[in-house]
């Protein structure tokens, strides 16, 4: 029996290509099997993020594998998919689309339907796309907060006090740590969901994509009362469930000078964080530029510009004209 190091086994494991050579190189050969990826996008770049996801879908379909698309917000983009030259009619038989309207349905899907699925080659899904998961999660727990309000009892976020209306004869009661508040329920659900998705990926050698828009929130700057608007990952940047995320992509648009064009063009960019599991440890963020074509998406070579923000000489020189506005994957964004 040959015993190999874990790193060697991971390098030799088959991976899924994204269709972009530079992006595959950043990911050490492509998207690793048995992994979960998060694909977020800034406002206005949703169509470009969909182009990237459909490109991965085509890679799976061309390999003869099946795709499961779980729609929780918008409908499955069938028109956009069939317009690509790489798509063929028989590929529709390899795609299954499921509509989920509640967290209970999503939990039942992974804990029962998919868990009891046979391990045969014709039954498993090589790719699972969870579209707009964050919207369903946020909406469901917003309804839970409203339910607490209708019951005339609210658990506050800061001190966990149960505040009842005065006509009940209770003004404020100090409670111990409540493990069933809305925030704790949300964290517990995400942790359980990621474990179920990871379990399916390991059993069937699959890849799961979580896609959705970045969240806009405000935070204080230092100790002052000044607030700053920032962009955060769609499900947040902290939590135990984050250890299940292998890679994180953020799609945004920016000006770029290419070899094919003499002037500047607005092209979609992919910011890649290869290991977001420890937010306290800085990880280099790579940027890949791409454009849309009839075949799907193609990589765009930049002219006289290093798109790596860690080694870019233009950033060190403080150039404002060519500075790229990129969302910070740790939960902040730079402004022009």
- CATH code where residue 188 lies: 3.40.50.300
Give the H/E segment covering residue 46.
helix 46-62
Q: Is the pTM of this model over 0.85?
A: no
Helices assigned H by DSSP within 119-255: 133-150, 182-204
Q: Which residue, 329, 334, 333, 331, is CA-closest to 38? A: 329
The count of structural domains within the chain is 1
Name the E strands within 204-323.
Answer: 207-213, 215-220, 227-232, 245-257, 264-273, 285-293, 296-299
Per-residue confidence (pLDDT) for residue 15, from 0 to 100: 84
- The 10s digit of each residue's pLDDT in 280-335 is 554 567 888 888 888 888 888 775 444 444 444 333 333 333 333 344 444 443 43
- Chain centroid to Cα 101, Å, comes to 19
Residue 70, SS3? Answer: strand
For residue 72, tell me if it sits in a domain: yes
Residues whose CB falls within 8 Å of the CB of residue 104, separated by 6 or more in sequence, listed in order: none
pLDDT (tens digit per residue) in 15-74:
888 888 988 988 888 898 889 999 999 888 888 999 999 999 999 999 999 999 999 878
3-state secondary structure of 53: helix
| Domain presence at residue 277 | yes
In terms of residue numbers, what domain contains 52?
19-317
Q: What is the mean pLDDT of the chain?
A: 74
**What's the average model confidence in pLDDT over 119-123?**
60
β-pair partners for 211: 39, 131
The band of 161, judged by pLDDT with boundaries at 50, 70 and 90, is very low
Q: With respect to residue 3, please indicate whether it lies within any of the assigned structural domains.
A: no
Residue 5 lies in a domain: no
Does 11 fall in a domain? no
Distance CA 19, CA 277 (A): 25
> Which residues face 174 on adjacent strands?
161
Q: Residue 189: is it exposed, middle or buried by C-beta count within 10 angstroms (0-12/13-18/19+)?
A: middle
Evaluate whether residue 282 is within a structural domain.
yes
Q: What is the pLDDT of residues 249-285, one digit of tens each?
A: 999 888 877 766 556 777 788 888 766 555 555 456 7
In a domain, 13, yes or no: no
List residues bridging with 270 in a β-sheet.
251, 288
């Amino acid at each position: 029996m040959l015993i190999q190091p874990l790193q060697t086994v991971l390098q030799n494991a088959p991976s899924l290509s994204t269709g972009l050579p530079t992006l595959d190189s950043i990911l050490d050969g492509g998207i690793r099997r048995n992994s979960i990826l998060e694909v977020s996008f800034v406002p206005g770049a949703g169509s470009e993020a969909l182009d990237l996801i459909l490109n991965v879908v085509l890679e799976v379909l061309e390999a003869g594998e099946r795709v499961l698309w779980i729609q929780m917000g918008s409908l499955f983009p069938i028109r956009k998919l069939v317009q690509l030259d790489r798509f063929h009619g028989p590929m529709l038989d390899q795609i299954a689309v499921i509509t989920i309207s509640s967290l209970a349905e999503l939990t039942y899907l992974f804990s029962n339907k998919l868990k009891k699925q046979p391990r045969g080659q014709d039954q498993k899904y090589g790719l699972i796309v969870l579209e707009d998961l964050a919207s369903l999660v946020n909406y469901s727990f917003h309804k839970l907060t409203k339910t607490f309000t209708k019951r005339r009892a609210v658990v506050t976020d800061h001190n966990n006090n149960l505040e009842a209306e005065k006509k009940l004869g209770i003004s404020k009661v100090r409670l111990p740590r409540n493990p069933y508040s809305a925030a704790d329920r949300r964290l517990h659900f995400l942790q359980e969901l990621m474990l179920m998705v990871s379990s399916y990926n390991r059993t069937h050698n699959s890849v799961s994509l979580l896609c959705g828009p970045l969240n806009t929130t405000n935070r204080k700057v230092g100790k002052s009362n000044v607030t700053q608007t920032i962009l955060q990952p769609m499900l947040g940047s902290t939590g135990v469930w984050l250890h299940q995320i292998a890679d994180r992509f953020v799609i945004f648009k920016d000006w770029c000078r290419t070899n094919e064009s003499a002037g500047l063009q607005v092209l979609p960019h992919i910011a890649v964080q290869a290991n977001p599991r420890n937010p306290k440890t800085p990880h280099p963020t790579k940027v890949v530029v791409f454009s849309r074509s009839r075949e799907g998406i193609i990589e765009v070579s930049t002219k006289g510009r290093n798109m790596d923000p860690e080694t870019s000489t233009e950033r060190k020189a403080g150039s404002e004209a060519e500075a790229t506005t990129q969302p910070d994957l740790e939960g902040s964004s730079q402004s022009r």
